[in-house]
């Protein structure tokens, strides 16, 4: 197998894993968007750290009014991005 083909296979496997993890989290919390308290429970980070994350330019936050949230799939992809260097795999 050539390198380009292997990268496609890795990205496909990561995509499937991300979709399954997003589905699991969405079903567990009964929602498609996660708030600060949800992220504290999922990550184990403190509330102040999660608030900093939600205000970070690199985190896929959505703002509605004065509330910030992240979609489950965006959170899962964000959390996998550094682990598997998805940006470098293209």
Residue ranges in the chain whose pLDDT is less than 50: 1-2, 5, 89-90
**pLDDT at position 84, please?**
63
Q: In what order do the strands lie in the sheet with 62-64?
A: 33-34, 67-71, 62-64
Q: Which of 59, 30, 57 is nearest to 43 (CA)?
A: 59
- d(C-alpha 23, C-alpha 48), whole Å: 27
> Domain locations in the chain?
3-89
**pLDDT at position 90, please?**
47
**pLDDT at position 7, please?**
53
**pLDDT at position 11, please?**
66
Question: Which stretch of DSSP H or E encloses residue 43?
Answer: helix 36-43
pLDDT in tens, 33-43: 999 999 999 99
């Amino acid at each position: 197998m050539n390198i380009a083909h292997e990268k496609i296979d890795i990205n496909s496997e990561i995509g499937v894993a991300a979709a399954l993890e997003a589905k699991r989290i969405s079903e567990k919390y009964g929602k498609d968007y996660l708030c600060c308290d949800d992220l504290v429970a999922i990550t184990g980070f403190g509330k102040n750290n999660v608030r900093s994350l939600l205000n970070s330019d690199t985190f896929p936050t959505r703002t509605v009014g004065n509330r910030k949230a992240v979609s489950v799939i965006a959170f899962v992809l964000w959390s996998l991005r550094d682990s598997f260097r998805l940006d470098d795999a293209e």
